[in-house]
């Protein structure tokens, strides 16, 4: 599906995308494959060239992507390091992509201007040398970590790629590491599923000075045992979102709804739905999040290439622009770039900054 770009001059910082090489991993999954694996099969190799093709950053004809934030995904780990430190390899790799963008060969586009890596917070105080190694590897671009906690009693919900233990964010081991991490003044991205949102709420209240970013609108579920239950569970999700918004240290990413987990849409990958249709599917979730958090604590995200399941990059951002149509110019600036720039400390990528 191709569409004309809506509001092509609006500056965008994409605060959540991945880079990876899963070409050896994807074929290893048995048939029938989980929808998540199907979603990424068409983008099993996704590095700078693929990102540039989707964003058209610095080039004519696409959305005005001025910068991005890389989000950890377990890729390019350094096998020569021990288990605790191997995630440093991912930050080192992404730093190279950031250097490509910073070369000026692609105009003012700054891919991976911010880098979010991974460290195992169940290490307790022993996580500190890992954080310091990640900071050193980021060469000024490292902004924080994500330690995902997605879990469900139904193994068909997440499928084989995800194995977070139940109640990770509430465990003593995680809280000890989180307390150690909080000393660094970095961001923390939280990914878990809608039925688990009370866990991140409890975490945010326990650490009120720690910046927490809730990924993917809290991931409402429309897959496996949750299929057909989005409407039934909407009020529970909305209550959780409003409760989280009362924590001033929490912000929310507006996106991830095109993941296979959400069922918005159910069919994929990239089945040809237009931005008007997708905006209608996502409107209840996006509008609830913006109403609860405000534009200054909310940011649109692509979650690419995962969200390729539901939409091409151009169509995805067109859907977001349709959803933001009734907001003021200042609110649009916050939703599409300002909040991301502030939270991840990359104001320098903004035009006229």
Q: What is the pLDDT of residue 38?
A: 81
**Mind giving me the DSSP string for 91-125?**
HHHHHHHHHHHHTSTTTT-EEEEEEEE---GGGGG
What is the average per-residue pLDDT within 8-27? 93
Q: Tally the C-alpha atoms within 13 A of residue 199's C-alpha that lie toward its C-beta.
A: 23
pLDDT at 261 over 70: yes
Nearest to 301 by CA among 204, 244, 216, 233: 216
Residues in the chain: 353
- Whole-angstrom CA distances from 305 to 19, 36, 243, 320, 332 are 8, 11, 30, 16, 24
Query: pLDDT band for position 353 (50/70/90)?
Result: low
The position carrying tokens 């001025």 is 66
DSSP annotation of 20 reads E
Secondary structure percentages of the chain, helix, strand, coil, to 5: 45, 15, 40
Q: What is the pLDDT of residue 106?
A: 85
Q: What is the pLDDT of residue 160?
A: 73
Q: What is the pLDDT of residue 41?
A: 83
What is the average per-residue pLDDT within 129-153? 97
Nearest to 261 by CA among 303, 301, 293: 303
Six token digits for residue 44: 């099993």
Q: Percentage of residues in the chain with pLDDT exceeding 70?
A: 99
Q: Which tops the pLDDT comparison, 107 or 87?
A: 87
Claim: this prediction has a pTM higher than 0.75:
yes
Residue-wise pLDDT tens digits, 280-291 = 999 999 999 999
The position carrying tokens 């994409």 is 14
pLDDT at 256 over 80: yes
Determine contact, residues 324/332, Cβ cutoff 8 Å.
yes
Longest dimension (CA), the chain: 52
pLDDT at 163 over 80: no
pLDDT at 309 over 70: yes
Instruction: Go through 128-146 and write b for each residue having 16 or more CB atoms within 10 A of its CB, e for each that does not.
Output: bebbebbbebbeebbbbbb
Domain spans, the chain: 11-349
Residue-wise pLDDT tens digits, 210-239 = 999 999 999 999 999 999 999 999 999 999
pLDDT at 85 over 70: yes
Instruction: Go through 23-55 and write b for each residue having 16 or more CB atoms within 10 A of its CB, e for each that does not.
Output: eeebeebeeebbbbbbbbeebbebbbeebbebb
pLDDT at 161 over 80: no
pLDDT at 270 over 80: no
Residue-wise pLDDT tens digits, 108-120 = 899 999 999 999 9
pLDDT at 162 over 80: no
pLDDT at 159 over 90: no
Please say whether the dihedral angle defined by the alpha carbons of residues 305, 308, 310 and 314, taken in this order, is positive or negative. positive
Out of 60-69, 154-163, 227-236, 238-247, pick the least confident: 154-163
Residue-wise pLDDT tens digits, 323-347 = 999 999 999 999 999 999 999 999 9
Nearest to 42 by CA among 17, 23, 55: 23
Q: Which CATH architecture has domain 11-349?
A: Alpha-Beta Barrel (3.20)
What's the CA gap between 15 and 325, in Å, rounded?
20
Nearest to 72 by CA among 139, 134, 158: 134
Q: What is the pLDDT of residue 269?
A: 66
Query: pLDDT band for position 183 (50/70/90)?
Result: very high
């Amino acid at each position: 599906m191709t569409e004309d770009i809506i509001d092509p001059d609006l500056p965008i910082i994409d605060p959540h995308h991945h880079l990876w090489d899963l070409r050896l991993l994807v074929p290893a999954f048995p048939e029938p494959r989980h929808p998540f694996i199907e979603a990424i099969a068409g983008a099993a190799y996704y590095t700078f060239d693929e990102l540039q093709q989707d964003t058209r950053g610095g080039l004519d004809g696409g959305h005005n992507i001025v910068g991005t934030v890389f989000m950890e995904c377990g890729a390019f780990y350094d096998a020569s390091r021990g288990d605790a430190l191997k995630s440093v390899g991912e930050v080192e790799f992404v730093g190279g992509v950031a250097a490509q963008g910073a070369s000026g060969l692609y105009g003012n586009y700054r891919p991976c201007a911010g880098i979010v890596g991974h460290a195992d917070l169940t290490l307790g105080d022993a996580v500190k040398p890992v954080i310091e190694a990640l900071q050193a590897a980021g060469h000024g671009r490292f902004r924080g970590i994500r330690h995902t906690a997605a879990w469900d009693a139904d193994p068909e919900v997440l499928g084989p790629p995800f194995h977070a233990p139940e109640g990770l964010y509430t465990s003593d081991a995680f809280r000890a590491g989180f307390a150690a991490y909080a000393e660094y003044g970095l961001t923390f991205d939280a990914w878990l599923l809608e039925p688990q949102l009370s866990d991140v709420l409890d975490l945010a209240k326990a650490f009120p000075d720690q910046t927490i970013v809730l990924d993917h609108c809290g991931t409402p579920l429309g897959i496996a045992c949750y299929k057909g239950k989005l409407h039934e569970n909407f009020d529970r999700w909305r209550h959780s979102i409003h409760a989280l918004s009362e924590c001033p240290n929490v912000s929310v990413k507006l996106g991830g709804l095109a993941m296979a987990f959400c069922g918005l849409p159910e069919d994929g990958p990239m089945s040809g739905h237009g931005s008007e249709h997708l905006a209608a599917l996502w409107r209840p979730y996006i509008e609830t999040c913006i109403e609860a958090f405000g534009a200054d604590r909310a940011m649109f995200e692509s979650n690419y290439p995962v969200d390729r399941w539901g939409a091409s990059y151009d169509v995805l951002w067109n859907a977001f622009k349709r959803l933001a149509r009734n907001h003021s110019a200042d609110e649009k600036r916050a939703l599409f770039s300002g909040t991301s720039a502030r939270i991840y400390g990359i104001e320098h990528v903004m035009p006229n900054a």
